[in-house]
Amino acid sequence: EVQLLESGGGLVQPGGSLRLSCAASGFTFSSYAMSWVRQAPGKGLEWVSTISESGGTTYYADSVKGRFTISRDNSKNTFYLQVNSLRAEDTAVYYCAKAGTAAAALWGQGTLVTVSS
């Protein structure tokens, strides 16, 4: 089955860190750019970060640049989002998506990150 499965979300204090993971299955993972998209509670969608097929090129939204790092391990069919220096406004459901900076036909179920003291 073609799917993406996120993990790693949780409650973290302001200034804290988490590593989100997205495990892919059912397709040739190393052939696709992958992305993270987030959605604050009751709000719209924000494209956060994209990584190329090889991992050699990465892109970030200005709102997270310098704080978040995207990476991938093609041997494990998994990619990651390291989120540091978290702020209250980073509270959101984080979705992984099979897409470069384009339309996303496959999404994970989402993992909730809550930043609160």
Residue with tokens 């204090």: 13
Letters for 14-53 (x = contact with other proteins by CB under 8 A, - = none) are ------------------------------xxxx------
Nearest of 112, 76, 96 to residue 5 by alpha carbon: 96
By beta-carbon proximity to other proteins, the closer residue of 16 and 27 is 27
Of 14-22, 23-31, 65-73, 99-107, the segment contacting other proteins by CB under 8 A is 99-107
- Between CA 83 and CA 23 the distance in angstroms is 17
Distance CA 83, CA 70 (A): 9
User: Using CB under 8 A as the criterion, which residues of the chain lie in contact with other proteins when the complex forms?
Assistant: 44-47, 59, 61, 95, 101-105, 107-110
